[in-house]
Amino acid sequence: MKITRYRENETYAKKFLNQINSTIDRNINFMEVCGTHTMVISSSGIRQSIDKRIKLLSGPGCPVCVTPQEDIDLAISLAGQKDVIIVTFGDMMRVPGSDSSLEKEKSKGRDIRIVYSALDALKIAQSERSKKVIFLGVGFETTAPTIAAAIILAKENKVNNFLVLSLFKLIPPALRKIASAPNLKIDGFILPGHVSTIIGSKPYEFLAREFAKPCVITGFETLDILQAIYLLLNQLQTLPSVEIQYRRSVKPEGNPQAQKTMNQVFKVTDSNWRGIGQIENSGLVLNSELQNFDALTFFGLKPKKAKINPACRCGDVLLGLIIPPECKQFAKACTPENAIGPCMVSSEGACAAYYKYERSLTTDKHG
């Protein structure tokens, strides 16, 4: 299949494809950790252009997808509290909880609003002083610093009705869990560019040092991903390391100021990931001196056991155990209009990517 999406020189794309396809001598599994990478791989035709012995598997790189169902239920519970405004990124609206979703709750009259940043949520809090404005803090290291900055501003400006439901996840601990799982045969990682802009390359070094896994921090153009695959194949023949392909944005030390802001507001805690389970030191909660901005502390709510839909296999997709078309519900009972799980809802979800760009190439084979 011809590469259909690239902004770079077509000559270089063909050169990388030739180098990749002439190098393969066995079956290889690479995991792209970032949901944006998943979308580019699906939309560009990369999967159909490289040697079929290279399998590109989606990892836990979609923050909406890895948010466990009990946290969705918590957000829905908060939406039902008196004098509350829930503020969230749009991808969260249609994610199914045990019995409802934020979209359904909004249709019932709950005050739930979509914003593009935490600062938008802060502005709502400043203009709606009689309401508690709860921002759903969903994301990885990429979004945590900006939300931390909003909390600092709220404190400085005494915006005491601004609250955050902290549902953040940290990528390196999840990769440790995946790399150490005996049933997951991952030969190398295409590491996220946006997260790495914040944390740099050093937090991933354990993957090469302890698990001998090649790693490449990668940009978001088609050519970036092709080059990353080529670099991973080279590492398999030499020594595993953490290479930075995305040098135009990522430095080994990351962004120290963003890290400082994040550490000023949050502390690390254990966290539950959809499909993966509890991961040590993989989440963020507000520091003790900022607990008055914590939504759960204010309302005294605790997560309850969720009603998990056994038909949803998002967890297996996030671990690279299956690709979306191998789920019996894919493109049948589960579609973007009637999603069973978050991987079909999110704009970075693997199921959504396959449905939009690769459905016609895979449904005949798998269903």
What tens digit of pLDDT does each residue of 298-335 get?
999 888 888 888 889 999 999 999 999 999 999 999 99
For the chain, strand residue ranges (E) read 28-32, 54-58, 84-88, 112-114, 132-137, 162-166, 188-191, 215-217, 242-244, 266-273, 277-286
pLDDT tens string 70-122: 999 999 999 999 999 999 999 899 999 999 999 999 999 999 999 999 999 99
What integer pLDDT is reported at residue 365 of this predicted model?
53
Tell me what pLDDT residue 362 has: 57
- CA dist 286 and 358 (Å) reads 40
pLDDT digits (tens, 9 = 90+) for 268-302: 999 999 888 999 999 999 999 999 999 999 999 88
**Cβ atoms within 10 Å, residue 125:** 23
Ranges of each domain in the chain: 64-170+254-299
Rounded to 5°, angle at Cα 243 from 48 and 32: 35
3-state SS record for 234-275 = HHHHCCCCEEECCCCCCCCCCCHHHHHHHHHHEEEEEEEECC
**Distance (Å, whole) CA 19 – CA 13:** 10
Mean pLDDT of the chain: 93
Q: Give pTM, 2 decimals.
A: 0.92
In terms of CATH, what superfamily is 64-170+254-299? HypD, alpha/beta domain 2 (3.40.50.11740)
The pLDDT, as a whole number, for residue 216 is: 98
Rounded Cα distance, 255 and 160, in Å? 29
214-227, pLDDT tens digit by residue? Answer: 999 999 999 999 99
